[in-house]
Chain A
């Protein structure tokens, strides 16, 4: 059983038990354009909700990726470091950035549902 929620900074987070997977949305990947570099957090690093956790750079510009929820980094998507274009190919799947454990459920509940995020993007 998993659920995916979204931030107004265009991150998504999928929660399975107390483990979360974080990435950037399709909307964000398209806005950025071709991704050429990602900087991912070290395993074991503790991040707070809304804290800067990763960097994504396209040919055009660099952007920070904020962790939608607090937790401890359990894994970073090493495949992206070798092939950053994976973010564009499948932003909300294989193009995930990092996983967190010991996630605070309260952080997750505050985020937008898929339907709410779709509405939010429509209004941009």
Chain B
């Protein structure tokens, strides 16, 4: 059988929790330039199911945090999200677009109560490029301060609120997409009721020096288990959430990626963002391909890169695929020609030379359980 690829000799960065990952028995792999735990001794299946059952702690410190000061409204030059309409104490999802209207990255932005700068979180592998791009596009009107030194933890699962409430009394009053400064286990933090698993939960931004102590305090709670990148990926796939560089990249636009909801209502009529002409034209006139959810009918997973066919003709490609532990079966997402994007459309997945039957399915594959009120 094939052996897993060995570590490359490229020097990798480490998060403030590196020593803790080793202590917990994390299997470290290179990811987005960092050495990160793909799993702990419990394994991906148990970690995944535990997160949906109780609570999982994820180290996402490799993601890019920054503060944007000055004319923050200028961020609307590079995203179709409604930035100026974001209320204090709220976080919002945004797409960072190229001038061709394709997706340079996706990110979260927050307006903390009583603070002028916006707090941003972008993807790990793209953070330097994103911040260079934002800096160049916004020029002198706004000032971007990357905070690669900060740590970011995600506490996800139905027990997350009860757990975090013990370490940060009052925090469970937040609802989905709200954000606030708070004290967690004595450490100053930015806490949002967000995440990327489809479960209720929180993301906790900390000074790097406080991260290990706060992580240990969270892991000290009976419901919490450390979760690696493997389960993070299967959780987000079941939740129907895109992974940048796989399910979207600079070759697709928000309409093709089925992320039209990330374009603010006002922005649709006003435009004024990078690539707006292209994106608004596609909104109106349609696109040739679309991102869809796919359920294989057998037990065989169809991995990223698997060709998708209809009656023997290739009509698309899988961009994320694997096994969903909560779904207890294979699942995928990918791009197909728009005429085959309708729910219930029968597809064939070309796995090891065989055409496996599959069907276009609604996402999320596992219902979201956000706390919306």
Q: Which residues of A contact B (CB under 8 A)?
A: 9-11, 24, 28, 31, 33-34, 36-37, 39, 55-66, 81, 124
Whether A59 pairs with B352 at a CB distance below 8 angstroms is no
| A46–B46 CA distance with the chains assembled, in angstroms | 38
| A9–B44 CA distance with the chains assembled, in angstroms | 23
Which residues of the partner chain A approach B325 to less than 8 Å between Cβ atoms? Answer: 36, 59
Whether A37 pairs with B300 at a CB distance below 8 angstroms is yes
Closest residue to B298 on the A side, CB-wise? A37
Which residues of the partner chain A approach B45 to less than 8 Å between Cβ atoms? Answer: 33-34, 36, 59
- Name the residue among A31, A34, A66, A81 with the largest chain B CB count within 10 angstroms: A34
Q: How many Å from the CB of B358 to the closest CB on chain A?
A: 15
Interface string of B1-36 (1 = CB under 8 A from A): 111100000000000000000000000000000000
Within 8 A of A (CB), among B109-126: none
Give 29 A-B contacts (CB < 8 Å), ordered by A residue.
A9-B2, A24-B1, A28-B3, A31-B4, A33-B39, A33-B43, A33-B45, A33-B230, A34-B43, A36-B45, A36-B325, A37-B299, A37-B300, A37-B323, A37-B330, A39-B300, A57-B300, A59-B44, A59-B48, A59-B231, A59-B323, A59-B325, A60-B44, A60-B230, A61-B4, A62-B303, A64-B1, A65-B1, A81-B299
Q: How many Å from the CB of B9 to the closest CB on chain A?
A: 16
Whether B2 pairs with A63 at a CB distance below 8 angstroms is yes
Whether A10 pairs with B3 at a CB distance below 8 angstroms is yes
Besides A9-B3, A58-B44, A59-B45, 7 new A-B residue pairs in contact (Cβ under 8 A), listed by A number: A11-B1, A31-B3, A36-B325, A59-B231, A59-B322, A61-B4, A124-B3
| A57–B299 CA distance with the chains assembled, in angstroms | 11
Closest residue to A81 on the B side, CB-wise? B299
B254 is an interface residue with CB less than 8 A from chain A: no
Whether A33 pairs with B1 at a CB distance below 8 angstroms is no
Interface string of B207-240 (1 = CB under 8 A from A): 0000000000000000000000011001000000
Which residues of the partner chain A approach B1 to less than 8 Å between Cβ atoms? Answer: 9-11, 24, 28, 56, 63-66
Tell me the interface secondary structure of chain A in the complex: strand
Closest residue to A60 on the B side, CB-wise? B230
Q: Which residues of B contact A (CB under 8 A)?
A: 1-4, 38-39, 43-46, 48, 230-231, 234, 299-301, 303, 322-323, 325, 330, 352
Q: How many Å from the CB of A44 to the closest CB on chain B?
A: 18
| A33–B301 CA distance with the chains assembled, in angstroms | 15
| A56–B323 CA distance with the chains assembled, in angstroms | 13
Q: How many Å from the CB of B109 to the closest CB on chain A?
A: 32
Which residues of the partner chain B approach A65 to less than 8 Å between Cβ atoms? Answer: 1
| A12–B278 CA distance with the chains assembled, in angstroms | 57
| A32–B251 CA distance with the chains assembled, in angstroms | 32
Whether A64 pairs with B2 at a CB distance below 8 angstroms is yes
| A39–B322 CA distance with the chains assembled, in angstroms | 15
> Quick one: which of A33, A39, A55 contacts B44, CB cutoff 8 A?
A33
Which residues of the partner chain A approach B4 to less than 8 Å between Cβ atoms? Answer: 31, 61
Closest residue to A88 on the B side, CB-wise? B43
Whether A62 pairs with B301 at a CB distance below 8 angstroms is yes
Whether B2 pairs with A57 at a CB distance below 8 angstroms is no
Which residues of the partner chain B approach A81 to less than 8 Å between Cβ atoms? Answer: 299
| A60–B3 CA distance with the chains assembled, in angstroms | 13
Q: Which 9 A-B pairs have the closest CB atoms?
A: A34-B45, A36-B323, A59-B44, A63-B1, A63-B2, A65-B1, A34-B43, A9-B1, A59-B323
- Name the residue among A59, A64, A66, A124 with the largest chain B CB count within 10 angstroms: A59
Which residues of the partner chain B approach A10 to less than 8 Å between Cβ atoms? Answer: 1, 3
Q: How many Å from the CB of A10 to the closest CB on chain B?
A: 5
Closest residue to A34 on the B side, CB-wise? B45
| A85–B3 CA distance with the chains assembled, in angstroms | 19
Which residues of the partner chain A approach B48 to less than 8 Å between Cβ atoms? Answer: 59
| A65–B2 CA distance with the chains assembled, in angstroms | 8
Q: How many Å from the CB of B320 to the closest CB on chain A?
A: 13
Closest residue to B231 on the A side, CB-wise? A59
| A65–B325 CA distance with the chains assembled, in angstroms | 23
Whether B44 pairs with A34 at a CB distance below 8 angstroms is yes
